[in-house]
Amino acid sequence: MLLKAAANVLLTHTGLEEKEVLSLLEIPPQPEWGDLAFPCFVLAKKLRKSPQQIALELAEAISHEEGLSASAAGAYVNITLNRSVQIPLMLAELNKPDFLKPDIGHGQRVVIDMSSPNIAKPFGIGHLRSTVIGAALYRILGETGHVPISVNHLGDWGTQFGKQIAAYKRWGNEEQLQQDPIGESLKLYVRFHQEAEHDPSLEEEGREWFRRLEHGDAEAQRLWEFFVEVSLGEFDRMYQRLNITFDHVLGESFYNDKMQAVVAQLRAKELLEESDGALVVRLEEEELPPCLILKKDGTTIYPTRDLATAIYRHEVMKADRLLYVVGGEQRLHFQQVFAVLKRAGETWAEQCEHVPFGLMRFAGKKMSTRRGKVVKLEEVLDEAVARAQAIITQKNPDLQDQQEIAEDVGIGAIIFGDLKNNRLNEVDFSLEEALTFEGETGPYVQYTHARIRSLLEKAHARTHVAAHSDFNGTAPAQEKHSSELTDASSEMLGDAGWALLKQLDRYHGQLIRAVRQLEPSVIARFALDTAQAFNRFYAKERIVDGGRWRIQLAEQTADILASTLQLLGLKAPNRM
Ligand code: ARG
């Protein structure tokens, strides 16, 4: 809105395209210089004048426009907006659906592959990142006119289930597995690998069970279903705490009867070649290693299942675009899968996109399922909530619903601690850091939001404010009211309030940027900057008795903070 207002004026005076003007406009390094700065270098060639000369002339021309003033500084034109004109317009803009929910998706259907943990294995930190990033993208896309469709692509098939069954048959116990599904499964898995080192017959036993599973053997099937059920129960508890639901939970096994068609299609296109008894698609032109399709023993593998999956999402789910929120270590896998799709004549392969993310460590610890050295996610969540509870009790001992709020804050700290980082960055996660109420954290944003809500409660309790103001943001700018602070431009919000309003004005653009870059951290950063701008406003200016513009600004700050928290997957409690 702010940029557009300035851009409109510049358009008429420079003859440049709107897009160009928008991309050139800068925020001056010192707020005293103005609200926006326009560099004149690009015009020098066209006008055959020095940028300094152009800046002088442009500033002079613009000064005659209403609602702003301009001055030249070297090659720049600094533009200062007339606050009493802009404040009511900008505040009104912040309420508009076009501003809050820009329709840039036009109903595009985006299937998001997210979370996708493996049955009978611990829910890894990578799965946590995929869940949290995927869910944020899901909401951000939904907010901007797309139709997002989330799929949890469970790893519920593969030779490891043969081993799992073999180990369970030898050493397993139903009750123990019920009680601690993943822990028990993991123990069995680890033991299987340890004992297999001395006893090679175990491997054969595992393969045999997988063969039986693939051929629909009743006992193998029953045991496999049991593993899936108990693991899923454990995952669901976590999803519930993270407040995540999926449109579809379709494991890899769902595609078992859909892979022969893929193999047939590849064969018909003469793409399959033999290599050591296995069948592969060679991808030399793409400079990629060959993609394995059928193993020597005729069984399908991970890439084959992903090919069938993609085709299903395109044909049955009617996906216009397919996103895969999966760790960066699978980059090659997705390059190969997308390349094979393209070779197979699926032109929509262009619409498939791997959305990778970096490794995350909890206090330096990585995860390794083989050796069983694991940071258990559930324990991390419990720990975060316990710490949040301790902080809240100390800060606000009389607070009601402490337990519930501690859950919101503790879980929120973890989600935000992840999402504030550019997704490709490696993250060394520290619970202590994620939970400080003053740092760049989820609790800091939540706390700022709660503080505004309680401030507003106070303000609304004051009858003179309630009686004389219209809080909908639709009131005419020059309406007289009894507040001691008048509408005189500099007094309306104060400098810190004006800075906050300019910050809120960025929301629309940042939402669009988050979509274009598929980057939730854009929203998290925006939330932090907004909370900071509000706290500066709070420290410097009167708010509760500061007149209706300030109350309205506070209200809209709280609403926008609540929206950003919601988009990222955090709760926004009104009290903390
Ligand atoms: N289950 C896999 C893993 O844990 C991730 C699956 C990602 N999605 C996919 N369509 N391949 O590594």
Mutate to test the pocket of ligand 1, among 306, 326, 331, 333 (most ligand atoms within 8 A of CB): 326
Superfamily of domain 109-361: HUPs (3.40.50.620)
Ligand 1, residue 302: give the atom nearest the CA: 11
How does pLDDT run across 480-530, given as a tens digit for each residue? 444 444 555 558 999 999 999 999 999 999 999 999 999 999 999 999 999
- The answer to whether 35 and 2 have CB atoms below 8 angstroms apart is yes
Closest CA to 235 of 225, 223, 249, 221: 249
Please report, for residues 271, 299, 390, the alpha-carbon distance to residue 296 in angstroms, rounded to integers and kept in the order given: 17, 7, 57
210-235 burial, b at 16+ Cβ within 10 Å, e below that, comes to bebbbeebeebeebbebbbebbbebb
Q: What is the pLDDT confidence band of residue 299, given thresholds at 50, 70 and 90?
A: confident
d(CA 61, CA 71): 10
Q: So what's the pLDDT on residue 121?
A: 86
Mutate to test the pocket of ligand 1, among 153, 305, 306, 370 (most ligand atoms within 8 A of CB): 153
CATH architecture, range 392-568: Orthogonal Bundle (1.10)
339-378: pLDDT as tens digits = 999 999 999 999 999 999 999 887 766 544 444 455 678 8
Predicted pLDDT of residue 365: 61
Domain parsing of the chain, residue ranges: 2-81, 109-361, 392-568
Query: Percent of the chain, pLDDT > 90?
Result: 75
Worst-scoring range by mean pLDDT, 46-60, 246-260, 483-497? Answer: 483-497
Cα(first)–Cα(last) distance of the chain, in Å? 33
Under 8 Å between Cβ of 452 and 162: no
Long-range CB pairs of 44-49, under 8 A, 24+ apart, other chains included: none
**pLDDT greater than 80 at residue 473:** no
62: left (phi over 0), alpha (psi -120 to 50) or beta: alpha
pLDDT top residue among 177 and 573 = 573
Ligand 1 close to Cβ of residue 155 (< 6 A): yes
Does residue 153 line the site of ligand 1, with CB under 6 A?
yes
Q: How far, in Å, is the centroid of ligand 1 from the Cα of 250?
A: 12
3-state helix, strand, coil in the chain (%, to 5): 60, 10, 30
Angstrom distance (rounded) from CA 293 to CA 310: 15
Atom of ligand 1 nearest to the CA of 309: 10
What is the chain's mean pLDDT, rounded?
A: 91
Nearest CA to ligand 1 atom 11: 306
Rounded to whole angstroms, how far apart are CA atoms 155 and 163?
15
What's the whole-model pTM score? 0.91
Q: What is the mean pLDDT of residues 439-468?
A: 86
How far is Cα 462 from Cα 468, in angstroms, rounded to an integer? 11
Task: Quote the ligand 1 centre to 457 CA distance (angstroms).
Answer: 47
What is the torsion angle, in degrees rounded to the nearest 10, for the CA atoms of residue 254, residue 255, residue 260 and residue 266? 180
Distance 307 CA to ligand 1 centre (A): 13
Q: Where are the alpha helices (DSSP H) in 369-461?
A: 377-395, 402-419, 431-434, 442-461
Our answer on whether the CB atom of 118 is closer than 6 Å to any ligand 1 atom is yes
CATH number for the region 2-81 comes to 3.30.1360.70
Assign 3-class secondary structure to 143-172.
Answer: HCCCEEEEEECCECCCCHHHHHHHHHHHHC
Return the HEC string of 174-186. Answer: HHHHHHCHHHHHH
pLDDT of residue 485: 47
pLDDT surpasses 50 at 209 = yes
Dist. CA 251 → ligand 1 center (Å): 10
* Predicted confidence (pLDDT) at residue 117 exceeds the cutoff of 80: yes
Measured by CA distance, the residue closest to atom 6 of ligand 1 is 116
- pLDDT tens digits for range 381-407: 999 999 999 999 999 999 999 999 999
Give the position, in ligand 1's atom list, of the atom nearest the Cα of 126: 4
Predicted confidence band of residue 452 (pLDDT cuts 50, 70, 90) = very high
| 310 CB within 6 A, ligand 1 | no
Q: Is 252's C-beta closer than 6 angstroms to any atom of ligand 1?
A: no
Query: How high is the pLDDT of residue 495?
Result: 93
Q: Is the CB of 251 under 6 A from ligand 1?
A: no
Q: Are 112 and 134 in contact (CB under 8 A)?
A: yes
Ligand 1: nearest atom to the Cα of 124: 4
C-beta 116 within 6 A of ligand 1: yes
- Ligand 1 contact via 352 beta carbon (within 6 Å): no
